[in-house]
């Protein structure tokens, strides 16, 4: 399914259904944040940036 079609399909859902999707997205965000993956990636990115600036 194309992105515009998928967007249109999602936009046509009821507010209740959309809010349920929001809640799932939020739960996923929280799980990712709690796992420390983002922090680990950020630290890696910071180290890479520091190495680049020292070159």
Partner 1 sequence: MKATLELINQMQADGVIAEYAIGGAVGATFYLSPAATVDLDLFVTLPGNSGLLISLSPIYEYLKSRGASEQDEYIVVQEWPVQFLTPGNALQKEAVNQAISTSVEGVPTRVISAEHLVAIALETGRAKDHTRILQFVEQGAIDRGKLKDVLERHGLSVKWSKFEQRFLKGPQ
Residues of this chain that interact with partner 1 (CB under 8 A) are 6-8, 10-11, 15-16, 18-19, 21-23, 25-26, 28-29
Nearer to partner 1, 25 or 40 (CB): 25
Nearer to partner 1, 38 or 47 (CB): 38
Burial of 8 (0-12, 13-18, 19+ CB in 10 A): exposed
To 5 degrees, how large is the angle CA 22–CA 28–CA 30? 105
Nearer to partner 1, 23 or 46 (CB): 23
């Amino acid at each position: 399914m194309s992105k515009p079609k998928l967007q249109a399909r999602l936009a046509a859902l009821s507010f209740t259904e959309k809010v349920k999707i929001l809640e799932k997205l939020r739960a996923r965000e929280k799980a990712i944040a709690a796992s420390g993956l983002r922090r680990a990636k950020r630290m890696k990115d910071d180290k890479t940036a520091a190495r680049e600036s020292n070159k």
